[in-house]
């Protein structure tokens, strides 16, 4: 018996970097997994059927770096440089957040992601237990990290992160996993990073960190430590465990070699990196060196959306421009950033593909639209023409979480009401209170 049978859908697979469409196939799901993909599977064996005609079934998209609850701050800090963005807006505003705010912000961000076909997210934030609650209830899949900063309370932070890991790692039928989340080498001392890495090793989990976001950070690291951020972090032992490094825009060839040698995955968030004008990782060189490059949205306070396909599209366009080569980051490789490479970055083996045995994380995308027709190339339509609203139905871990654009696990009206009710309080700027301080950087970085 199957729990769910999706019928007559065009199935997108990616083989050796090239998109392949299995036309008019059925996808059978039992429990949390895909158990058959073939034409004309008998519907008599299925408890429930979904008509996929005229739609494209795609692997659920994987967002490799986000701050989901920053949906609350979408649009508060526009057209400002990174120092002002952090010190003038984000870090003061975040001191207003209660765990309950983070919970509602997370539900809002998860709602947006599901509506955009995103089924798994690597998140990095504080009050991560509130986020875990939202993930559990919404049916989302997530790799959570509780953000850690150096400070007088390092010991307490580590204890809390340890407790959070013990409570949530593997929870909700393994839909929720936990890694450690040291913020960045410019907000964590090397000795703190060392202790975080040791804790991660003890707990058997990975780490998720911001790294080499700006040229100024690299210059500052060289001045303070005589090492690039990548080399500095490597020396703290953090790369001895599975690691996602976000941004990594400014690297020397030896940094790329280090990332490759240690299997560190790079989560590029091109919309943030372009919007803040800080630079975008040299992904062609990184991929050539064997680094796993995945795609992330970052938070909505810099990206303004959680639309992972938009970010993938941006990166492909930018790589073509920067390399003066229309063949750079072709469609198949770009879609891999948001699917198989995302799974590899998160060390989550059985997601990111539509194959028998994989977790049933997928989205159905409408293709009979004025902006995608005629459908000469479904994969091109998905990457270069579709919009999130074309996603009709989303399944995570075998469960339908959105059907015909209706969210089934999140009360969106309530979420919007709760968020709206919080706006005024959340946007009080108390610049004398900050989560952390972004260091003043040398001019001209």
Residues 303-362 that bind a copy of itself (CB under 8 A): 303-307, 314, 316-318, 320-321, 323-328, 330-331
Q: What residues does 347 pair with on adjacent strands?
A: none
- Which range binds a copy of itself by CB under 8 A, 33-41, 119-127, 155-163, 420-428? 420-428
- Closest CB to a copy of itself among residues 257, 380: 380
Residues 371-390 that bind a copy of itself (CB under 8 A): 371-377, 380-381, 384-385, 387-390
Of 183, 210, 250, 271, which lies in the binding site for a copy of itself, with binding defined by CB under 8 A? 271
Of 73, 146, 179, 348, which lies in the binding site for a copy of itself, with binding defined by CB under 8 A? 73
Q: What residues does 123 pair with on adjacent strands?
A: 66, 144
Any known ligand binding at 94? yes
Residue 179 corresponds to which tokens in the numbers above? Answer: 């890694």
Residue window 89-118: x/- pattern of binding to a copy of itself, with contact defined by CB under 8 A = -------------------x--xx--xx--
155 exposure class (CB count in 10 Å sphere: 0-12, 13-18, 19+): exposed
* Closest separation in Å from C-beta 272 to a copy of itself: 10
* Closest separation in Å from C-beta 281 to a copy of itself: 12
Residue count at the site for a copy of itself (CB under 8 A)? 71
Residue 49 corresponds to which tokens in the numbers above? Answer: 């059927």
- Closest CB to a copy of itself among residues 200, 363: 363
Residue (of 179, 173, 106, 133) closest to 360 by Cα position? 173
Give CA 41 to chain center in angstroms. Answer: 34
What is the CB-side half-sphere exposure of residue 55 using CA atoms within 13 A?
Answer: 23
* 43 scored as a contact of a copy of itself (CB under 8 A): no
CA-to-CA distance for 300 and 380, rounded, in angstroms? 26
- Closest CB to a copy of itself among residues 27, 381: 381
Instruction: List binding-site positions for substrate.
Output: 94, 183, 213, 298
Binding residue ranges for Zn(2+): 65, 67, 210, 298
């Amino acid at each position: 018996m199957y729990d769910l049978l999706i019928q007559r859908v065009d199935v997108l697979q990616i083989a050796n970097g090239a998109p392949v469409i299995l036309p008019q196939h059925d996808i059978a799901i039992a429990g949390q997994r895909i158990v058959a993909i073939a034409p004309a599977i008998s519907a008599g064996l299925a408890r429930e059927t979904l008509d996929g005609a005229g739609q494209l079934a795609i692997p659920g998209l994987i967002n490799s770096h986000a701050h989901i609850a920053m949906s609350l701050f979408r649009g508060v800090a526009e057209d400002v440089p990174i120092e002002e963005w952090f010190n003038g807006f984000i870090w003061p505003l975040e001191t207003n957040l209660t765990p309950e705010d983070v919970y509602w912000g997370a539900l809002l961000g998860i709602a947006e992601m599901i509506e955009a076909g995103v089924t798994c997210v690597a998140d990095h934030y504080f009050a991560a237990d509130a986020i875990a609650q939202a993930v559990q209830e919404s049916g989302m899949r997530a790799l959570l990290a509780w953000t850690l900063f150096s400070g007088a309370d390092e010991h307490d932070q580590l204890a809390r992160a340890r407790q959070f890991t013990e409570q949530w790692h593997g929870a909700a039928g393994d839909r929720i996993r936990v890694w450690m989340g040291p913020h960045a080498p410019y907000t964590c001392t090397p000795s703190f990073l060392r202790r975080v890495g040791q804790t991660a090793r003890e707990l058997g989990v990975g780490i998720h960190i911001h790294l080499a976001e700006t040229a100024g950070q690299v210059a500052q690291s060289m001045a303070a430590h005589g090492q690039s951020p990548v080399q500095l972090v490597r020396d703290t032992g953090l790369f001895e465990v599975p690691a996602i490094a976000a941004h990594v825009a400014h690297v020397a060839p030896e940094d790329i070699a280090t990332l490759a040698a240690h299997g560190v995955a790079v989560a590029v968030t091109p919309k943030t990196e372009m919007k803040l004008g800080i630079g975008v990782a040299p992904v062609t060189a990184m991929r050539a060196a064997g680094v796993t490059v995945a795609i992330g949205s970052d938070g909505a306070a810099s990206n303004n959306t959680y639309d992972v396909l938009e970010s993938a599209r941006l990166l492909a366009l930018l790589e073509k421009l920067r390399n003066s080569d229309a063949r750079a980051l072709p469609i198949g490789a770009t879609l891999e950033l948001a699917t198989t490479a995302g799974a590899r970055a998160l060390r989550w083996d059985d997601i990111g593909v539509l194959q028998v045995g994989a977790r049933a994380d997928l989205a159905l995308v409408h293709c009979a639209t004025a902006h995608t027709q005629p459908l000469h190339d479904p994969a091109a339509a998905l990457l270069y023409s579709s919009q999130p609203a074309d996603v009709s139905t989303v399944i995570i871990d075998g469960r339908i979480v959105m059907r015909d654009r209706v969210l089934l696990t999140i009360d969106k009206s309530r979420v919007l009401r709760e968020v709206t009710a919080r706006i005024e309080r959340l946007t009080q700027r108390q610049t004398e209170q900050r989560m952390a301080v972004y260091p003043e950087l040398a001019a001209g970085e």
